[in-house]
């Protein structure tokens, strides 16, 4: 049995060149709610129901395959998913830790970034998922 139990999409990461312009669109036009984000990261988080859009400041002229574009999937047990993927020969990218979460990235066969995330604790604003 596959130990990776996915509960749904947590977020999509989008590179942006200008936060104010992007927030005007995603918040002002589309109505997504801006929520708390890691203060040491150059990001803005927006919520739509249980899912997020993570805007990531990026030099668009340097956007390549290792850029911030990705989507994140909720998993019930990140460590089980991690061990399973390693056993299948996948290389994992352990990004900087995120308070209240166990997460890592894996590339799909075409090199797309997929983040697997288990929320251990909610930030109190719906950022995580109990």
pLDDT profile of the chain (130 residues), mean per 10 = 86 89 87 90 90 88 75 90 91 87 84 85 58
pLDDT value of residue 110 = 59
pLDDT value of residue 11 = 92
pLDDT value of residue 125 = 56
pLDDT value of residue 92 = 95
pLDDT value of residue 123 = 64
pLDDT value of residue 103 = 93
DSSP string, the chain: -----EEEEEEEEEEES-HHHHHIIIIIIT-PEEE---TTSSEEEEEETTEEEEEEE--GGG--TTSS-EEEEEES-HHHHHHHHHHTT--EE-PSPBTTEEEEEEE-TTS-EEEEEEESS--SSSSS--
Query: From CA 94, how far away is CA 83, in angstroms rounded?
Result: 13
Main-chain dihedrals φ then ψ at residue 32, nearest 5 degrees: -70, 145
Q: Which two tokens stand for residue 6?
A: 């996915």
Q: Map out the domains of the chain as residue ranges.
A: 6-119
pLDDT value of residue 124 = 61
Is the whole-model pTM more than 0.85? Answer: no
pLDDT value of residue 19 = 92
Query: From CA 126, how far away is CA 117, in angstroms rounded?
Result: 15
Query: From CA 83, how far away is CA 60, in angstroms rounded?
Result: 34
Domain 6-119, second-level architecture:
Roll (3.10)
pLDDT value of residue 130 = 39
């Amino acid at each position: 049995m596959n130990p990776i139990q996915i509960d749904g999409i947590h977020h999509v990461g989008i590179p942006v060149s200008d936060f104010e312009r992007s927030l005007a669109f995603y918040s002002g036009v589309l109505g997504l709610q801006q929520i708390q984000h890691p203060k040491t990261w150059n990001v803005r988080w927006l919520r739509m129901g249980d899912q997020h859009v993570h805007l990531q400041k990026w030099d668009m002229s340097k956007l390549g395959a290792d850029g911030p574009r990705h989507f994140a999937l909720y998993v019930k047990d990140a460590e089980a998913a991690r061990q399973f993927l390693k056993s299948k020969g996948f290389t994992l990218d352990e990004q900087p830790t995120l308070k209240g979460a166990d997460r890592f990235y894996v590339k799909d066969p075409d090199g797309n970034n997929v983040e697997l995330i288990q929320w251990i604790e909610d930030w109190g604003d719906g950022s995580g998922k109990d």
